[in-house]
């Protein structure tokens, strides 16, 4: 029976097995085959995304920036709007950078004001 759980958890467990049972805090999640603990290149990450995009017959413009914005939005929701924790999750030094990734829709702000 296949392993159940969130996809990232399954991947981390596989990575942990490959590392001999433990993961160091500096272990790259997407490791290059060219070194012991070396990250894949930006170009390789782009190729992987292009292949996934094509394999899933997605159309339109492929952009990587939206991935971080989606992650930021999910962290914001998961952390119940705690901007400081979202800032930590994104690794930002300046909270303004974090806010920039959370493109709040004007209707959301209006609804919140009306609900208060």
Burial category of 21 from C-beta neighbours within 10 Å (exposed 0-12, middle 13-18, buried 19 and up): exposed
Rounded distance, CA 44 to CA 31, Å? 11
Other CB atoms closer than 10 Å to residue 98's CB: what's the count? 22
What pLDDT is recorded for position 14?
82
Q: Does residue 32 have a pLDDT over 80?
A: yes
Indicate the domain borders of the chain.
7-55, 65-115
Using pLDDT thresholds of 50, 70 and 90, give the confidence band for residue 1: very low
Distances 5 to 2, 10, 13, 20 between C-alpha atoms, Å: 10, 6, 11, 21
Q: What is the pTM of this model?
A: 0.56
Q: What's the pLDDT tens digit per position in 57-113?
A: 988 888 777 788 888 988 999 999 899 999 988 888 999 999 888 877 778 778 888
Cα three-residue angle 52-31-91, rounded to 5 degrees? 90
């Amino acid at each position: 029976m296949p392993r159940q759980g969130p996809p990232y958890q399954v991947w981390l467990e596989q990575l942990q097995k490959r590392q001999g049972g433990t993961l160091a805090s500096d272990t790259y999640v997407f490791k290059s085959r060219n070194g012991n603990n070396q990250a894949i290149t930006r170009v390789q990450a782009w190729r992987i995304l292009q292949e996934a995009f094509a394999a899933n017959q997605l159309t339109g413009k492929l952009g990587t920036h939206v991935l971080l914005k989606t992650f930021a939005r999910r962290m914001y929701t998961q952390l119940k709007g705690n901007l400081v924790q979202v800032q930590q999750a994104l690794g930002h030094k300046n909270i303004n950078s974090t806010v920039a990734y959370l493109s709040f829709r004007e209707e959301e702000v209006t609804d919140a004001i009306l609900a208060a």
